[in-house]
Amino acid sequence: MTQAGKKKKRAVNRSIMLAKKIIIKDGGTPQGIGSPSVYHAVIVIFLEFFAWGLLTAPTLVVLHETFPKHTFLMNGLIQGVKGLLSFLSAPLIGALSDVWGRKSFLLLTVFFTCAPIPLMKISPWWYFAVISVSGVFAVTFSVVFAYVADITQEHERSMAYGLVSATFAASLVTSPAIGAYLGRAYGDSLVVVLATAIALLDICFILVAVPESLPEKMRPASWGAPISWEQADPFASLKKVGQDSIVLLICITVFLSYLPEAGQYSSFFLYLRQIMGFSSESVAAFIAVLGILSIIAQTIVLSLLMRSIGNKNTILLGLGFQILQLAWYGFGSEPWMMWAAGAVAAMSSITFPAVSALVSRTADADQQGVVQGMITGIRGLCNGLGPALYGFIFYIFHVELNELPMPESAPGGSVVAQYHLQQNSIIPGPPFLFGACSVLLALLVALFIPEHTNLNVRSSNWKKHCGSHGHPHSPQAPGEAKEPLLQDTNV
């Protein structure tokens, strides 16, 4: 070996050992308070999304003030770019966390996801620019799920993921209402300062209290392990879709049904605020009620339906509710219609858990990660395409406010609603009607999915890719692909 090669190797080894000292103490004991547990992950998720939930009402106001003529188009582009960047970067960050450990990437994802918060009052243009670029690191859930997989057994994993998702929902049930109240009483600046403080608290909690979940795997040999393109390829899961006709039907159903859902999440609260005339408090209350009803639907109602009418019929029922909900949003012109459609939307949230359950029951044990990974990959792709598509449809149908003031004192937002109805009285919400047509196609495709079958997808090259999403020795549990009510890229 040449002298230059030896020096390079020594420099690499020094960098590896320095990074190890940052994450673990001498002797291999993980830093943090106590042993790694699900509760550490739960607190990280709660603090991050509580901070963003506080900004629900201020963000809607700043978005309209910054882009008064093309509000929905710009919102769709911002969220679309963020979603696509998250989809592209998630496998690479997952693979790197398998080598460098979870704690450092928890810190990285939370820091960059929350970095735009203080910019809201400093510079709105930079705020939205940093939000779109932060999609590269807006994959906290991927790292948290990997953290949970490291410290739980396979039979415990579904319950652990359920706890994480329920915590996410709980943070969004409470924080928008608190942010709206504080903004009305003390001004939006206080809300931004409070959200920034909570984000900093989350970062400090990760630094001080969260222990590393992979201390045994932090060896010098593994720290220098190369990352293959297969591990970092975001389209690796999608390439296997056509290898089985049943898998293809399931994936098409997921794509056609989740594409409008992802677009809806990115723009619906803005739609309620600006077009339907909801006040900030009404939007916060809508989020809380919808979150509570969705939790009930995904737990109690889903289990009852699965036992009584079966897996496939539950999927069809959920798609039917989604068609009704989107059509109601599309043609609804009064605030009470939005509330009624929201109750139907909660029932439509049973679709994806039912799809995951169908896959887990029909796929072989060694195929679980393959098929669930495909479904998760398609949902990630929809997180980028859906918001951009909705923003574009709003734009081509000229659903904009065009400098119209938003009087808070107007009862029920009648001025805004009347303006909108004069502008487009036949279809108040064109993207939602498009979404209903997309879900109708998904329903027709789902009719051909058999209730009981054996999925057969070749997975000879899948193990490396699965390692980028979780613990290398922990096979993906059936519930691992289940995601919370709102995606972390679309809050």
Indicate if 245 and 198 belong to the same structural domain.
no
Residue 408, in any domain of the structure: no
Q: Is pLDDT at 96 greater than 90 in this prediction?
A: no
DSSP assignment letter at 99: H
Q: Is pLDDT at 26 greater than 50 in this prediction?
A: no
**pLDDT digit string (tens) for 361-398?**
666 654 555 666 677 678 778 888 888 888 888 888 77
Q: Give, in order, the Cα–Cα distances in Å from 454 to each of 107, 249, 352, 450.
A: 40, 14, 19, 10
CB half-sphere exposure, 168, CA atoms < 13 A: 23
Provide the pLDDT confidence category of residue 83 given band limits of 50, 70 and 90. confident
Name the token pair of 163.
């706890």
Residue 221, in any domain of the structure: no
Chain-centre distance of CA 81, in angstroms? 14
Distance in angstroms (rounded) separating the CA atoms of residues 278 and 272 = 6
Residue 1, in any domain of the structure: no
Indicate if 205 and 244 belong to the same structural domain.
no
Dihedral sign from CA coordinates of 253, 376, 361, 463 = positive
First to last CA, the chain: 53
Distance in angstroms (rounded) separating the CA atoms of residues 350 and 110 = 29
pLDDT of residue 167: 79
Indicate if 266 and 180 belong to the same structural domain.
no
pLDDT of residue 229: 64
> CATH number of the domain that 148 lies in?
1.20.1250.20
**pLDDT digit string (tens) for 298-354?**
778 888 888 898 888 999 999 999 999 999 888 887 888 888 888 888 888 888 788
- Residue 308 lies in domain: 237-400+429-450
Is the CB of residue 107 less than 8 Å from the CB of residue 185? no
pLDDT of residue 196: 94
pLDDT of residue 316: 93
For residue 402, count CB atoms less than 10 angstroms from its CB and return exposed for 0-12, middle for 13-18, buried for 19 or more.
Answer: exposed
Q: Is pLDDT at 121 greater than 70 in this prediction?
A: yes
For residue 191, count CB atoms less than 10 angstroms from its CB and return exposed for 0-12, middle for 13-18, buried for 19 or more.
Answer: buried
pTM of the model: 0.70
The number of domains in the chain is 2
Indicate if 95 and 164 belong to the same structural domain.
yes
Stretch among 31-35, 72-76, 225-229, 282-286 having the lowest mean pLDDT:
225-229
**What are the φ/ψ torsions at residue 80 (nearest 5 degrees)?**
-65, -45
